[in-house]
Amino acid sequence: MKQMSPQLSWIGLGFVSALGAAGVAVLGKVGLKGVDPTLATTLRSVVMTIVLLGLCLATGRLRTPVAGTGASIDARAMTFVVLAALCGALSWLAYFAALGIGGAAQVAAIDRLSLPLVLIFSVLFLHEHYGWRGWLGVALVVTGIFLVASDPRPAARDDAAVTTISTSSVAAADWPGPTPD
């Protein structure tokens, strides 16, 4: 099998990540109906843990560090992995709490402020350098985030429409959009 170039592989994985994030916003919003956001986040974490542990077991990656053979995780790397996990847990808790009270697109837009923050933090702490295109891109992203987040909240849909969408293969066009201003 021919190996993809590193640039194509990170771009492809980025698109898969974006698709997954879109699913989290839309499916999470439907799933939060009458459910505590902290409980929903916990259930999401349990499912993710089971899937990831299964993947590690299936590929033999879990066996190596546990058995002490091959690759290992040093204390510094483990510290940063744990800190990243704590940041992720905080992010998930806030994200699901926001989804419970806000519109899916608005919450997802605000969540994407992570891009300009990552750029700023990577310059300050990782000493990465970005050219004018990177900074212009961040300015455009921030503008887009503002436009999406400040759009009036989508009209509430009745439970029958949400049930229909969540239990069948209804085309997106069949779901009525937000009411015009």
The identity of residue 138, as a single letter, is V
State if pTM tops 0.75.
no
d(CA 44, CA 53): 14
Q: Give the pLDDT confidence score for residue 160 in this predicted structure.
A: 43
- Decide if pLDDT at 5 tops 90: no
For residue 90, give the 3-state DSSP assignment: helix
**Predicted confidence (pLDDT) per residue in 102-115, tens digit:** 888 999 999 999 99
Q: Give the pLDDT confidence score for residue 3 in this predicted structure.
A: 61
- Decide if pLDDT at 163 tops 80: no
Within 10 angstroms of residue 104's Cβ, the number of other Cβ atoms is 19
d(CA 135, CA 96): 29
Look over the chain and give the mean of its residue pLDDT values, rounded to a whole number: 79
Burial class (CB in 10 A: 0-12, 13-18, 19+), 174: exposed
Mean pLDDT, residues 160-166:
41
d(CA 106, CA 111): 9
Domain assignments of the chain as residue spans, ordered by start: 21-65+74-102, 104-152
What does the block give as tokens for 73? 């995780």
